[in-house]
Chain A
């Protein structure tokens, strides 16, 4: 398992494509930002999916941490990822 944070910058009318794709794996925490635990296999799927989707001038960055325990995460205000297993 690895913990990843994904941020993307795309043409405004195309952002929903990326969101739709990433939501299958990650928790949407802010506009154009998702995070969560994934397997190495899923990370590979995310990488190729992201790469395929981008047009010139657009970008996506994946920050990868070896485990959720290695992340020190400070949230101000409401945490959108709090209790995301409980809806």
Chain B
């Protein structure tokens, strides 16, 4: 079982009776079955101590911390179960070889565009006319071949994402005005949902990469960051349309999230606690959805697809087998 647990309450999180317990500020005690846990997401204000951290390390459970403005603040990762010097060496070699790096960067963008396209196609068939956006996405994808640098490749990704986001204002109902991507902080409901959703995807991929011996800081499309796990950013782009965005459309269009689930602060707009809870629940449900995997010959959960992606990349780096990015096939 690879469950994610989300803690929204304020209080303490601690080791108790060989498992994890949350004691809320109201004095309520809630237990979390540690054996089923993949990661614990902390959204509330929580205190913890070293005993808690070493316990989770021993159990192989990650903690992802979310801070002010729903920002991903960082992770406490268990020590590596997997270490392989060879993987790191191959990973860095691929980064250092401009041709190889460019090829991987293009693969990530190619997959991302395909997955954006898949969302647009879905709505194109449901009363919206997105023919022009589909063409724009196809043009962007076709232009990838001719790109000679990482910057140009990034430019293609930006162009595609802009076209993709242009559909949001039409798909989302009245009251949810988007008007283009803004973050730091998000300026309206839609941007705040995208930021929150993307940070959940990112944190899940940080966990998935940890299951391999890959180093999360050595990336190909994004520049290896000083403080970020930039490889997680590369892989997250592939999955944002499938995970983060579909959940937004579903919740907003069905009225399960309304403008009451947000609070406006000085020139920012953020999900409130109820909104974050609603979103995380729908998001976790999506991660549990399963799909027949043609290559693996079995049903796998969306969450497992994230791990498959990390394994595929590792295999490519070690054996040279072609890396084919995740493309929604259903």
Contact flags (1/0) for A74-87 with B, using CB distance below 8 Å? 00000000010111
Min CB gap A33→B, angstroms: 14
Whether the pair A87, B9 counts as a contact (CB closer than 8 A) is yes
Whether the pair B33, A27 counts as a contact (CB closer than 8 A) is yes
Q: Knowing A20-B17, A87-B5, A87-B6 touch, does A36 contact B33 (C-beta < 8 A)?
A: yes
Contact flags (1/0) for B1-14 with A, using CB distance below 8 Å? 10111111100000
What is the bound-complex CA distance between A26 and B30, given in angstroms?
Answer: 12
Contact flags (1/0) for A17-40 with B, using CB distance below 8 Å? 001110111111000000011110
Assess whether A42 is interfacial by the CB under 8 Å rule: yes
Q: Knowing A38-B1, A87-B7, A87-B9 touch, does A23 contact B33 (C-beta < 8 A)?
A: yes
Task: List which A20-64 residues lie within 8 A (CB) of chain B.
Answer: 20-21, 23-28, 36-39, 42
Min CB gap B264→A, angstroms: 25
Closest to B42 in A: A87
What is the bound-complex CA distance between A56 and B36, given in angstroms?
Answer: 31
Assess whether A65 is interfacial by the CB under 8 Å rule: no
Min CB gap B181→A, angstroms: 28
Min CB gap A52→B, angstroms: 15
Closest to A20 in B: B17
Closest to A28 in B: B31
What is the bound-complex CA distance between A73 and B159, given in angstroms?
Answer: 49
Q: Knowing A23-B17, A23-B31, A38-B1 touch, does A83 contact B281 (C-beta < 8 A)?
A: yes
Whether the pair A85, B284 counts as a contact (CB closer than 8 A) is yes
Assess whether B277 is interfacial by the CB under 8 Å rule: yes
A: residues with CB less than 8 A from B are 1, 19-21, 23-28, 36-39, 42, 83, 85-87
Task: Name 11 A/B residue pairs within 8 A (Cβ), A-sorted.
Answer: A1-B1, A19-B17, A23-B17, A24-B34, A26-B33, A42-B1, A42-B35, A85-B6, A86-B5, A86-B8, A86-B281
